[in-house]
Amino acid sequence: MTEAEALSKMYAPGRRRPVWRGGVMQLWTTRGCDKACLGCTQHSNLGGKPTRITPAQFELACRSVQGYHGVIGMFGGNPCTHPDFEELCEILAWHFPFEQRGLWSNNLLGKGAVARRTFNPEVSNLNVHLDQKAFDEFRRDWPEAKPFPLESASRHAPPFVALQDVVADEAEQWDLIGNCDINRRWSAMVCVFRGQLRGYFCELAGSQAMLHQNEPDYPDHGVEIVPGWWRAQMEDFAPQVRFHCRACGIPLNIRGPLAHDESAAEQVSQTHAAAFHPKRPDRLVQLVTSRGQLGEKVEHVTDYVGNGAF
């Protein structure tokens, strides 16, 4: 497959896809999280001071996606760790109807009352990652919520094993990119890169940019956040695809380790190795240089709970 052929198959942010309400638009709030899951796509498992969106920036992000048909997700990390969580909820509720508002969280951390009145549990992704206390808090303070059952373990594909580091053939790279699970089945994102709001056709592209944002030579391929930015065609996001997709591990469709397997290692390849410093100092890191070091393939990496079954 060529780049042009891959782009013709891919989903621009405004194109309907087979997920809740025909699409998900993530509004990133922070990578801060009380967990450190293996293979976190938003590098909440890595060290360093988490950055956050400001309420003023969140207001602009909401305005920019007015008219979007799908779910508007408050995304992290765990958004409940954001010190302005309640204010962000008020902003989101002012801009969008209840039916569209979703929360991505593993732990309410005392924010159950505001979460209950703000978010539609039918379009929220609530994975407690086997945490009994967090599960009980959801059940007590947001009884309509649908956290994944406590026995549902998750497996995360290694997102920072760059495709370009383990697949040499360019045609194969584009074939994998053109069929990427996140692009075809999941979400675009608004986030903060070097203090500025930026839009990405894919949440992984935005995550990569934020991981490397302190590197002075790292390019800014995010689009300016203006009203309707998400209506652009896939060709308009070609610079993001060209740079970020080949630096991503999701198109490889790897069945990664269990998110809380303390004996497992974080997997990273050369493209991201210099920025990869686990939050937990005892966590092992494996530098991947070939596909043979990776796990078996799965049909959909987005089915991370299903992949968690033994």
pLDDT at 21: 94
> What string of DSSP letters covers 17-85?
-SSGGG-EEEEE-BS--S---TT-TT-TTB-SPPPB--HHHHHHHHHHTTT--SEEEEESS-GGGSTTH
For the domain made up of 1-152+171-232, give the CATH fold. TIM Barrel (3.20.20)
136: CB partners within 8 A, 6+ apart: none
Residue owning tokens 């309509």:
144
- Closest by CA to 277, choosing from 203, 214, 219, 201, is 214
- pLDDT band, residue 54 (cuts 50/70/90): very high
Residue 243 and residue 267 in contact, taking contact as beta carbons nearer than 8 Å: no
Dihedral angle computed from the Cα positions of residues 164, 170, 174 and 177, in that order, rounded to the nearest 10 degrees: -10
pLDDT at 304: 80
Q: Is the pLDDT of residue 310 over 80?
A: no
- Average pLDDT for residues 115-142, to the nearest whole number? 97
- The length of the chain in residues reads 310
User: What whole-number percentage of the chain has pLDDT above 70?
Assistant: 99
Count the alpha carbons within 13 Å of 275 in the hemisphere toward its beta carbon: 16
| 260: its two tokens | 């809380």
User: What whole-number percentage of the chain has pLDDT above 90?
Assistant: 89
- Closest by CA to 250, choosing from 203, 308, 181, is 181
| 176-233 pLDDT tens trace | 999 999 999 999 999 999 999 999 999 999 999 999 999 999 999 999 999 999 999 9
| 238-270 pLDDT tens trace | 999 999 999 999 999 999 999 888 889 999 999
Q: Which amino acid is at 293?
A: Q
Could you tell me the CA-to-CA distances from 43 to 37, 92, 158, 194, 265 in Å, in that order? 9, 24, 11, 16, 14
pLDDT averaged over every residue in the chain? 96
Residue 189 and residue 210 in contact, taking contact as beta carbons nearer than 8 Å: no
List the beta bridge partners of residue 199: 190, 223
- Average pLDDT for residues 32-54, to the nearest whole number? 96
- Average pLDDT for residues 91-116, to the nearest whole number? 98
pTM higher than the cut 0.85: yes
Q: Is the pLDDT of residue 306 over 90?
A: no
